[in-house]
């Protein structure tokens, strides 16, 4: 069975002395549970694995009971408690804080691993009670390299079908694959992760924004123009809020125009970017051959694949992802980490001004320039992680 780097990372942390709760966070259907089970196989420690993903409400009493049973395994040595989909246990963070701190005082060597598909619900729980007590390991969408090694994907396969491992077995039947993406990923993320977490007065508008933005991935669209394309769109503040929710749910984001000034940056029109190209092709509804045979459409798929790759790495490595445009000059991506800056241009087949990188370099001479799709850096090599992102 294929093993992601996440597996060895988690196994290493579980072999360390008890310090932090390990949180495995990421989008739905990216293999978080599988990775945890594989990591447990690498360690020789008693463990208890339970899931909070139950149709019935999971109570604080349930959580305390499972913790007590795991404590029994830890006597007199150590044990690991894994709770899958922890965010579905009501009030989980305050109970975990109490139990974790009790173990620390009593020197009970019980290590804890929690997984969660909803970054919205996890963020709220972690911020409320558990500051300083946890580390996060991210489980992003699968990369081109991973999909190639695990499923034999070609570059075109990856551009169209993206990085959801559960959907890989269905790619021979595009209609079946699309139904899976819709019913197992898109709809549960919106209806369970977002709508259960936030008060969304216009759920239909949120779904419409997802479809519009995913279809426009790698393109700029102002909030004002969105109002003209969406039914019952409300106002720009509502759209910006809904886009933020989709961003925190690892579905769709709006990249901001880089200016080196955060206040100005937030006022710019967003450049839509999906977190996985499968969401773009699902929203588009066009068959594989039509998208891949059209240079303009394939170019947007290539740019979206690069954008999704950068977004995935940014969460783990702590950098920001932007784009840049000034008049007719633009750069596809600008990434910023501390005082390090990199401008990334994707040669994708789309017709665009070729001088953007030169103009950007004049404004920011300290920036590294990368051209993906050139002789020095192919799209395949870049998506495989063979090119450093920063100087």
Mean pLDDT value of segment 365-385: 94
Cα separation, 147 vs 163, in Å, equals: 7
What pLDDT shows up at residue 354?
A: 64
Determine the pLDDT at residue 313.
97
Categorize the per-residue pLDDT at 349 as very low, low, confident or very high, splitting at 50, 70 and 90.
Answer: low
pLDDT bucket at 367, cuts 50 / 70 / 90: very high
**Alpha-carbon span 195 to 201, nearest angstrom:** 9
Domain boundaries, the chain: 5-138, 144-383
Given strand 320-326, what is the order of strands in its sheet?
Answer: 320-326, 329-337, 340-346, 368-372
Q: List pLDDT tens digits, range 69-101.
A: 999 999 889 999 999 988 888 788 899 999 999
pLDDT in tens, 195-206: 877 788 899 999
pLDDT of residue 92: 87
Distance CA 19, CA 4 (A): 24
Average pLDDT, the chain: 91
- Among 3.40.50.2000, 1.10.1370.30, 2.60.40.10, 3.40.50.300, name the CATH number for the domain at 5-138: 3.40.50.300
Residue 113 has a pLDDT of 98
Angle at the Cα of 159 from the Cα atoms of 28 and 314, rounded to 5 degrees: 55
| Token pair belonging to 114 | 């929690």
Whether the Cβ atoms of residue 290 and residue 298 lie closer than 8 Å to each other: no
CB 249 within 8 A of CB 193: yes
For 89-113, b/e burial (b = at least 16 CB within 10 A) is beebbebbbebbeebeeeebbbbbb
3-state secondary structure of 346: strand
Q: What are phi and psi of 330, to 5 degrees?
A: -145, 155
The pLDDT value recorded for residue 194 is 87
Please state the rounded mean pLDDT for residues 214-232: 88
Tokens of 153: 């994907």
Q: Is the peptide bond before 217 cis (omega within 30 degrees of 0)?
A: no
- The pLDDT of residue 176 is above 90: yes
Q: Identify which has the larger pLDDT, 68 or 264.
A: 68
Q: What confidence category does residue 121 fall into, taking pLDDT thresholds of 50, 70 and 90?
A: low
The span from the first CA to the last CA of the chain, in angstroms, equals 36
Q: Which long-range contacts (CB under 8 A, 24 or more apart) does 173-178 make?
A: 174/287, 174/288, 178/282, 178/285
Measuring CA to CA, how many Å separate 292 from each of 12, 113, 158, 345, 385?
Answer: 41, 41, 11, 20, 23
Residue with tokens 């991973």: 146
Prediction pTM value: 0.92
- Match 């009971």 to its residue by tokens: 65
Cross-strand bridge partners of residue 89: 58
**Per-residue b or e along 274-301, where b marks 16 or more CB atoms closer than 10 Å to that residue's CB:** bbbbbbbbbbbeeebeebbeeeebbbbb
| Alpha carbon distances (Å) from 14 to 17, 96, 187 | 8, 18, 34
- Place 139 in a pLDDT band, splitting at 50, 70 and 90: very high
Q: What is the mean pLDDT of residues 182-191?
A: 95
CA distance 228 to 239: 12
Q: Which residues contact 55 (CB under 8 A, 6 or more apart)?
A: none
Q: What is the pLDDT of residue 353?
A: 63
pLDDT (0 to 100) of residue 20: 97
Q: How many CB atoms lie within 10 A of CB 205?
A: 18
In this predicted structure, the answer to whether residue 168 has a pLDDT above a threshold of 70 is: yes
Q: In this predicted structure, what is the pLDDT of residue 79? A: 98
pLDDT band at 125, cuts 50/70/90? low
Position 231 scores a pLDDT of 74
Sign of CA dihedral 348, 390, 11, 73: negative
> 35-63 burial, b if ≥16 CB within 10 A, otherwise e?
bbbbbbeeeebbbbbbebbeeeebeeebb
């Amino acid at each position: 069975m294929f093993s992601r780097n996440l597996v060895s990372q988690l196994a290493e942390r579980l072999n360390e002395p008890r310090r932090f709760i390990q949180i495995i966070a990421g989008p739905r259907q990216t293999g978080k549970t599988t990775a945890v089970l594989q990591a447990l196989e690498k360690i020789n420690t008693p463990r208890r694995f339970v899931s909070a993903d139950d149709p019935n409400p999971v109570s604080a009493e349930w959580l305390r009971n499972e913790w007590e049973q795991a404590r029994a395994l830890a006597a007199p040595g150590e044990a690991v408690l894994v709770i899958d989909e922890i965010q579905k246990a009501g009030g989980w963070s305050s109970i975990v804080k109490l139990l974790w701190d009790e173990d620390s005082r009593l020197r009970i060597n019980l290590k804890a691993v929690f997984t969660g598909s909803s970054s919205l619900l996890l963020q709220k729980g972690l911020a409320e009670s558990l500051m300083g007590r946890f580390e996060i390991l991210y489980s992003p969408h699968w990369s081109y390299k991973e999909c190639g090694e695990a499923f034999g994907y070609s570059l075109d396969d990856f551009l169209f079908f993206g990085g959801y491992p559960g959907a890989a077995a269905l790619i021979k039947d595009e209609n079946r694959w699309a139904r899976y993406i819709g019913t197992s990923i898109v709809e549960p993320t919106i209806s369970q992760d977002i709508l259960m977490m936030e008060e969304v007065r216009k759920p239909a508008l949120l779904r419409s924004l997802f479809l519009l933005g995913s279809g426009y991935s790698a393109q700029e669209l102002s909030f004002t123009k969105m109002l003209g394309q969406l039914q019952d769109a409300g106002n720009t503040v509502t759209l910006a809020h809904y886009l933020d929710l989709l961003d925190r749910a690892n579905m769709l984001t709006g990249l901001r125009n880089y200016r080196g000034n955060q206040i100005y940056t937030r006022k710019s029109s967003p450049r839509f970017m999906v977190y996985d190209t499968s969401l773009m092709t699902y929203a588009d509804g066009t068959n594989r051959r039509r998208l891949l045979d059209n240079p303009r459409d394939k170019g947007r798929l290539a740019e979206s694949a690069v954008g999704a790759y950068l977004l995935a790495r940014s969460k783990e490595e702590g950098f920001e992802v932007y784009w840049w445009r000034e008049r007719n000059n633009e750069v596809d991506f600008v990434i910023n980490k501390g005082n390090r800056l990199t401008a990334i241009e994707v040669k994708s087949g789309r017709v665009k001004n070729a001088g953007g990188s030169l103009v950007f370099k004049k404004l920011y001479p300290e920036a590294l320039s990368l051209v993906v799709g050139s002789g020095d850096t192919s799209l395949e090599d870049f998506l495989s992680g063979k090119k450093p992102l920063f100087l």
